[in-house]
Structure 1
Amino acid sequence: MSPASFVLAHAANSDWQFALARARGELQSQIAERHSRHPDARPFTLGWCYLCDYYADEAEAILSALQAEFPNVSWVGTSALGVSATGVEYFDEPALVLMLAPLPRTAFRLFSGLQPLPMHPTDFPAHTALVHAEGSTPDVQELLQELAARTTTGYLFGGLSSARDRTLHIADHVLTGGLSGVAFGPEVDLISRVTQGCQPIGALRTITGSEDNYVLRLDGRPALACLLDDLGLDTELPTEEMLEALSGTLVGLSTGPSDVTAHPGQFGPDTLVRHLIGVDPQNQVLAIGDEVAEGMHLAFCTRDARAARADLVRIALEIRTELAGSGKAIAGALYVSCSGRGGPHFGGPHAELQTVRDVLGDVPLAGFFAGGEIARDRLYGYTGVLTAFAMPE
Structure 2
Amino acid sequence: MSDASFIHAHAAHDDWREALAQCRTQLDAQLAARQAAPGGGAALTLGWCYLSDYYAPSAEDILAALREHWPGVAWVGTAGVGVCAGGVEYIDEPAMVLMAASLPPTAFRLFSGLQPLPPASSAFVPHTALVHAEGSTPDVQDLLHELSERTATGYLFGGLSSARNRTLHIADGVFSGGLSGVLFDAGIGLISRVTQGCKPIGPVRIVTRAAHNLLFELDGEPALDCVLKDLGLGHDVPEETLSSVLSATLVGLSTGGDDAPSVPGRFGVETLVRHVLGVDMQHGVLALADVVEDGMRLAFCTRNPAAARADLVRVATEIRAEIESGVAGHALGALYISCSGRGGPHFGAPGAELEIVREALGDLPLAGFFAGGEIARDRLYGYTGVLTVFTGR
Aligned to 2:74: 74
1:319 and 1:262 mapped to 2: Cα distance? 17
Give the letter for the 2:306 counterpart.
R
Alignment of 1:172-211 (within 5 A): 172-211=172-211
Give 1:121 shift: 4.2
Aligned to 1:10: 10
Are the equivalent residues in 1 in contact too, given 2:196–2:383 (CA < 8 A)? yes
Give 1:261 shift: 4.9
Are the equivalent residues in 1 in contact too, given 2:159–2:372 (CA < 8 A)? yes
Give the letter for the 1:374 counterpart.
I
Are the equivalent residues in 1 in contact too, given 2:199–2:307 (CA < 8 A)? yes
Aligned to 1:63: 63
Alignment of 1:1-393 (within 5 A): 3-326=3-326, 328-392=329-393
2:352 and 2:249 mapped to 1: Cα distance? 23
Q: Which moved more, 1:276-285 or 1:383-392?
A: 276-285
Give 1:375 shift: 0.7
2:261 and 2:134 mapped to 1: Cα distance? 34
Give 1:309 shift: 0.8
Cα distance change, pair 257–162 in 1 and its aligned pair in 2 (3 A): same
**What is the root-mean-square deviation in Å for CA atoms of aligned residues?**
1.7
Give the letter for the 1:159 counterpart.
G
3-state SS of paired residue (1:77): strand
Cα distance change, pair 242–175 in 1 and its aligned pair in 2 (3 A): closer
Give 1:301 shift: 1.2
2:176 and 2:240 mapped to 1: Cα distance? 43
3-state SS of paired residue (1:203): coil
2:33 and 2:262 mapped to 1: Cα distance? 47
3-state SS of paired residue (2:96): strand
Give the letter for the 2:36 counterpart.
S
Are the equivalent residues in 2 in contact too, given 1:3–1:42 (CA < 8 A)? no
Give 1:176 shift: 1.8
Instruction: Please give the per-residue CA displacement for 1:95-149, whole angstroms capped at 9, x wherever unaligned.
Output: 1110011111111111111111124142211100000112222221111111111
2:81 and 2:11 mapped to 1: Cα distance? 15
2:116 and 2:256 mapped to 1: Cα distance? 31
Are the equivalent residues in 1 in contact too, given 2:80–2:370 (CA < 8 A)? yes
Give 1:170 shift: 1.0
Instruction: Please give the per-residue CA displacement for 1:270-292, whole angstroms capped at 9, x wherever unaligned.
Output: 21100122223332222211121
Are the equivalent residues in 2 in contact too, given 1:3–1:41 (CA < 8 A)? no
Are the equivalent residues in 1 in contact too, given 2:5–2:103 (CA < 8 A)? no
Cα distance change, pair 166–264 in 1 and its aligned pair in 2 (3 A): same
2:247 and 2:177 mapped to 1: Cα distance? 33
Instruction: Please give the per-residue CA displacement for 1:219-255, whole angstroms capped at 9, x wherever unaligned.
Output: 0111122222223334443444444444432100111
Give the letter for the 1:219 counterpart.
D
2:271 and 2:178 mapped to 1: Cα distance? 25
Cα distance change, pair 112–391 in 1 and its aligned pair in 2 (3 A): same
3-state SS of paired residue (2:337): strand
TM-score for both structures, normalised by structure 2: 0.95
Give 1:389 shift: 0.5
TM-score for both structures, normalised by structure 1: 0.95
Question: Matched residue pairs, number?
Answer: 391
Give 1:335 shift: 0.7
Are the equivalent residues in 1 in contact too, given 2:3–2:331 (CA < 8 A)? no
Instruction: Please give the per-residue CA displacement for 1:311-351, whole angstroms capped at 9, x wherever unaligned.
Output: 11111111111112216221000011111111121122111
Q: Which moved more, 1:110-119 or 1:189-198?
A: 110-119
**Gaps spanning 5+ residues in structure 2: where?**
none
1:237 and 1:179 mapped to 2: Cα distance? 44
Are the equivalent residues in 2 in contact too, given 1:252–1:273 (CA < 8 A)? yes
Give the letter for the 1:388 counterpart.
V
Cα distance change, pair 224–335 in 1 and its aligned pair in 2 (3 A): same
1:111 and 1:239 mapped to 2: Cα distance? 48
Are the equivalent residues in 2 in contact too, given 1:190–1:390 (CA < 8 A)? yes
